[in-house]
A and B are shown apart, each in its own frame.
Chain A
Amino acid sequence: MTATVTTDPSRPEGSAGSPPAASTVLAALETVRDPELDEPITSLGFVTSCTVSAGGDTTVRLRLPTYFCAPNFAFLMVADAYDVISTLPGVRRAEVVLEDHFASDAINGGVAAQSGFVQSFDGEAVSELGGLRADFLRKAVMAGTDQVCRPLLAGGADPASLLTLTLGDVPPSRPLRRLRERRAELGLPAGDDAPLVIDPVTGVRVSEQAVPLHLRRARVTRISIEANGGICRGMLRHRYEASGLGEEEQQ
């Protein structure tokens, strides 16, 4: 399989309502994440091609590390990619195709028909995937808490002292921005005056007594996600030789 970005050369450029460049579509896909790994599907290497026709018909092809990757997360990625693309200016019709997966037909058909997870997996699911997504956002908040707090601890901060800090007290960094975004997505406090260390379910500041254990859970959650990312990348590379569009090495 070859990774391609294709824009139909005959398409009109520049005018309002004209189709987006394939690179624009790809940039939009960077906002779609694997919910388990909390990483863009582009940097994970899951996007193999992205084509835009003169009329604005846009097709994106996705792949995953194994034939049996969990169908609920696969559905979320395909559905999120569809939602992102179909709202781009100039896109007349969006199509997202997950390839080489045991549930490709159910997922691709279900997303194309906008029928939701329960209907796409008739009789095999009882609710949509909002709860699952929230559970994994909370894991991302825990992992992000470790990413932000570990450098502070390494710099000599006492664990209990972290409780006095707000998000605004922490120097700006990419992990901090990411933590704020995940907290905001969950409806948790994410402003400058919000406490740094909170319970990811209630949003309440963690108690002094609970903070050592909380930070240890944050660390193991981060390590778990990162180790899984390593395994997924290794499996993907065994399955497909070619890199995906926007694929990056693990940081």
Chain B
Amino acid sequence: MTDVVHKPDLAPPVTTVGVIGWVRKNLFATPFDTVLTLFGAYLVITFVLPALNWAIIDASWSGKDQSACTGEGACWVFIIERINFFVYGFIDEKFYWRVNLVFIMFAALIVPQFLAKFPKKAWLGWFLVTGYPVISYILLVGGSFGLADIDTGKWGGIMLTLVLSFVGIVAALPVGVLLALGRRSKMPVIRGICVCFIELWRGVPLISVLFMASVMLPLFLPEGVNFNKLLRAMIGIVMFQSAYMAEVVRGGLQAIPKGQYEAAEALGLNYWKSMVLIILPQALKMVIPGIVNTFIALFKDTTLVLIIGLLDVLAAVQAAIVDPAWKSVATEGYVFAAAVFWVFCFSMSRYSQALERKLYTGHKR
């Protein structure tokens, strides 16, 4: 009994822990795995590294014109020199502060929404979709409060993209919710109208909707009445995306158990009260990922307005890269535009994932 001596446990073999263990387990577990890893390494060496090299190490960052670029790497000078055009389009430089103010207000209103505990967060959210658009309209269009007019034809770049997507998002959600409710209505006529509307817009490409908005809308209106191009594009985008939104929301409505509808009725709530207080809060929460995906799709789809002649970020890049003062800067321009879209879309998708986790209250069974 006494000769049992407790020795400390042996350390695990070095090949199963630490860096070596990790590498063996995750990169070289089987011969096939090794082949895959080598293939992956080949991809990294041939595509990823040269791309990084081009974009960062060999790139030219400072200078005034073409001569500052060595030609080896990316010519970011081009982007830096034309950044005002990419952000504001053709808006006169003396009006930049108005656009900036709109941007800053947007940032100030949206950032609290991402923070967990912020006082009066819900009020700020409501202000973002009610008061803020009005103030932005006054600032961006002008013509009142002593502000000079800005022609909407001069809007462009990131500013136009953001305006189009903001309007699209704020308008498409309520229209989509109404369409979804209509599609589940017990009244055959209302249901029929909503089904036709949704299926019609979902069945055709956005380009044809925009074409229709730009070519056919003027034909539909009485003579003398005319919307400007921007408004027509907005109408097209909202019509199109609200149909998609309706289908997403309908998915949520269908997932609510019948007991919830019956309970709302038993409480004596009328249709709108039971929808707004009982059904929609649960249904919308359930389909947040789908709603944000629709927002992302809408944001990306705003690029299509260049086909009907509006100057969004992509169109601004397209216009700038053919400038004879700069040679072969197409790739830089597209990479810049891609980065702009990527940042917005990627953060939206991450936000939706975070929100989904936060709102998860155990309804999924």
Bound pair (A, B): no
Chain A interface residues (CB < 8 Å from chain B) = none
